[in-house]
Chain A
Amino acid sequence: MSSTKMILGLFDDPDEMMHGIEKLQKNSVPIYDVYTPMPIHGIEDKLGIKESRLGYAAFCFGCLGGSVIFSIVYYTLVHDWPMNIGGKPHFAMPNFVPFTFEWTILWTAFGMVFTFFYATHLFPGRTPRVMDLRATDDRFVIAIDAKGNIPHDDITRILQEAGAVEVKHNDRKYVSYE
């Protein structure tokens, strides 16, 4: 039993990497993930990645933000300490619109950022998890989980045939902790 945990195919050209994905899929090799220095259009469809649910989080945070400020202002201005401002009724709906609108947007924005950080494990004190440092620079990396996969040499051969400039057999999943 080899100690290899991840097999990484490093490409220097995005088109060749896309070709590599196709070849792996044709040979029924499951792909763990793909890391690229820039966004590549159409890669989600190719990898069959499920649509992001960030929008639902945004919607929930927006509703929450709107409700929270509405409650606070209702409590303070209508219930706890009603004031006469320009002879308007205490519960004057048009007054409530601007800050409800602002807080909805504010919480949507913050909520989306925090959800994204939480989902991607990006928060202060956490070392970013990177499989190959050059994936943030000039390498397009296909990562394959080595456990329970077909002979590793076959995977290496497929990657090299597709044009990988380098194939790594890593014993550790992430290199960034070293």
Chain B
Amino acid sequence: MKTEYSFSERFEFAGKAKTWSLIGIVIGVLGILYGFFLDHGELGVQRTFSNLLLMGYYFACICIGAIFFLAYQYAAQAGWSVALLRIPQAFARVLPIAAVILVVVIAAGLLTTHKVIEDGKEAVAPYLYAHWATHGLTTPGSENFDAIIAGKSALLSFWPFIGMIVVLLGLYAIIGWMLVKYSESEDTTGGMTNYNKSFSAAVLFLVIFGFTYPIFAFDGIMSLEAHWFSTMFGWYNLAALHVTALCGITLILVLLHQSGNFGWISENHVHSLCKLIFGFSIFWTYVWFAQFFLTWYANMPEETAYFYKRWEPEYKWWFWLNIVLNFVAPLLLLMSRDAKRYFTRVKFTCILLLIGHWLDYYLMIMPGTMTPRDTAFPFGVEEITIFIGFAGLFTFLVLNALSKFKSLAPAKHPFLEESLHHHI
């Protein structure tokens, strides 16, 4: 086994990866322009905003998930992952940009309004979060007044809402930035100081993240259908976030390894990552089912309305496909030991899960924003182009962040040797 590596080589971001990610960004921009100005369907602008929210949220969540990964690796004093920590660190570096995009999309969606007719009454509704941000919902005496929404207005009104999202994303991004900074200064100074600081930052992150992430999910996605609520929703989104972040890390790691970087990574590291993907896909199913099961069992109208919408003909097949892609596929594809060590299989499963969780987010968002629907077929040009655009943006930003690191492994991390000899 080769155990001597040169960690001074930097990652160079050029060639095909750069070209294709830029092409992806162009496609995404064209898709957004098409959606806003050329899609004259009834819901063109609505669809574009919904997709921007979907991808903005997905993008931010993948980066937060990578910081979560970094944090629990440090808090658990894990050794095996050290050799690949630069990848989640690159994700962490991208979070500030993802956060700005998400906040801009949410603010724009809340501030651009249009006239809608609901129950025969005319109202001025924003494109996103219309369920609580439509004018008059919380004004006593207005013909649109809704007592339930008015009761939630302490959290669900423009400034508290935007403020909460900005503060939470800010906190996550700052701790992510700290973890990256400590790791970089560790490379130059060595010693245990930076490791100890990383440990404290990681524990701090886990405490803050554990308590606040459900609020982030409630605000960002659950409040799209503000009458409905589920206490499982935060954990459900946490599971999705964790699986997608792990898939992103694994996919990029394997692709970079195969293109000649990360020479010290072996199938053992990928095996460990895949065990996490496998386990947390099962966990995702567990919370998904728990949320569904309680609603089904209690059978209360204000709760079942959520699933009723998702069982309308235009969503029903996608609803079940969601379980197939995110549960059955990883269960069968990653169960055996060999499957987790076989790079082709791993890449395929990661891509499948990244698409599967896009569908998962799609089913959380669209039935709440896209009513009434204009077509029986739920996908438009915007879905595909905006997905490609964000995938390109994500690849571009992450690989660019990765190329800024002076080395592709934290060369003076105290557990680096353990990681290089990782064997399972």
A residues lining the B interface (CB < 8 Å): 41-42, 51, 55, 59, 86-88, 94-95, 97-98
Contact = CB atoms under 8 A, between A and B. Distances in A.
A41 B421 CA distance: 9
B177 to A, nearest CB: 36
A151 B231 CA distance: 73
Interface string B290-303: 00110011010000
B289 A97 contact: yes
B299 A97 contact: no
A55 B423 contact: no
Contact of A86 (B297, B335, B423): B297
B142 interface: no
A87 B297 CA distance: 10
B296 A94 contact: yes
Interface in B272-320: 289, 292-293, 296-297, 299
Given A41-B423, A42-B423, A55-B336, A97 B293 contact: yes
Contacts of A55: 336-337
A97 B293 CA distance: 9
A24 B296 CA distance: 65
Contact of B293 (A41, A59, A94): A94
A55 B278 CA distance: 15
A55 B340 CA distance: 14
The 9 closest A-B pairs by CB, nearest first: A41-B423, A94-B296, A94-B293, A42-B423, A97-B289, A55-B337, A55-B336, A86-B299, A97-B293
Contacts of A98: 293
Interface in B340-378: none
Given A94-B293, A94-B296, 11 more contacts: A41-B421, A51-B337, A59-B335, A86-B297, A87-B299, A88-B297, A94-B292, A94-B297, A95-B297, A97-B289, A98-B293
Contacts of A59: 335
Nearest to B294: A94
B301 to A, nearest CB: 14
Contacts of B337: 51, 55
Main DSSP-derived SS at the B contact region: helix
Nearest to A59: B335
Nearest to A85: B297
Contacts of B293: 94, 97-98
Contacts of A97: 289, 293
Interface residues of B, number: 11
Contacts, number: 20
Contacts of B297: 86, 88, 94-95
Contacts of B299: 86-87
B282 to A, nearest CB: 10
Interface string B135-163: 00000000000000000000000000000
A12 B42 CA distance: 79
B339 to A, nearest CB: 11
Nearest to B290: A98
A87 B296 CA distance: 12
Contacts of B292: 94
Nearest to B1: A42
11 contacts: A51-B337, A55-B337, A86-B297, A86-B299, A87-B299, A88-B297, A94-B289, A94-B292, A95-B297, A97-B289, A98-B293
A86 to B, nearest CB: 7
Nearest to B338: A51
Nearest to A93: B296
A59 B336 CA distance: 10
A158 to B, nearest CB: 25
Contacts of A88: 297
B387 to A, nearest CB: 31
A167 B297 CA distance: 69
Interface string B397-424: 0000000000000000000000001010
Interface string B217-241: 0000000000000000000000000
A57 to B, nearest CB: 13
A59 B423 CA distance: 24
A39 to B, nearest CB: 10
Contacts of A42: 423
Contacts of A51: 337
A54 to B, nearest CB: 11
A94 B296 CA distance: 8
A156 to B, nearest CB: 31
Contacts of B296: 94
Contacts of A95: 297
Contacts of B289: 94, 97
Interface string B323-339: 00000000000011100
A62 to B, nearest CB: 10
A42 B3 CA distance: 15
A59 B293 CA distance: 26
A55 B337 CA distance: 9
A42 B299 CA distance: 55
